[in-house]
Amino acid sequence: MSEARFVIREHYARSHHFDFRLEKDGVYKSWAVPKGLPEKPSTKRLAVQVEDHDLEFGQFEGKISQGEYGAGSITVWDRGTYELKLWTADHLALTLHGSRVAGRFELVRFKHGGPRDWLLIKRPPA
């Protein structure tokens, strides 16, 4: 369908997690992934949706001061492009093309979680 940018940042804040950001509609749609992206097919990881971020913020690396939102250190862990297969209110299907992360993934609303909880699932190669 379309190809856009993604960025994954390692974020040492109150708790260590990864920021997973997908470019869409002029912003980065964003999720915090506590255990990082799954590496093996069919593995599921919790991904908590957070507010959208400006595209410029996706490239930021450095330290955010105490008292500020997201305080802690941030490094870009991977970046690249993604091919979008499906994007609905409850389901995303995409293929990532990064230097560290590549392959098919899905984000699916976690029906037994909170309103911002999704499952990030690694899919086997097509």
Q: Are 37 and 105 in contact (CB under 8 A)?
A: yes
Tokens representing residue 20 in the block: 């997973």
For 69-74, the CB contacts below 8 A with 24+ separation are 70/11, 70/13, 71/13, 71/14, 72/11, 72/12, 72/13, 72/14, 73/11, 73/12, 74/9, 74/10, 74/11, 74/12, 74/19
pLDDT at 76 over 70: yes
- What are the domain boundaries of the chain? 2-122
pLDDT digit string (tens) for 6-62?
999 998 888 899 999 999 999 999 999 999 999 999 999 999 999 999 998 777 777
Confidence at residue 67, expressed as pLDDT on a 0 to 100 scale: 73
Using only the alpha carbons of the chain, give its radius of gyration: 14
Q: Model's pTM, two decimal places?
A: 0.89
Tokens 């999720």 found at: 31
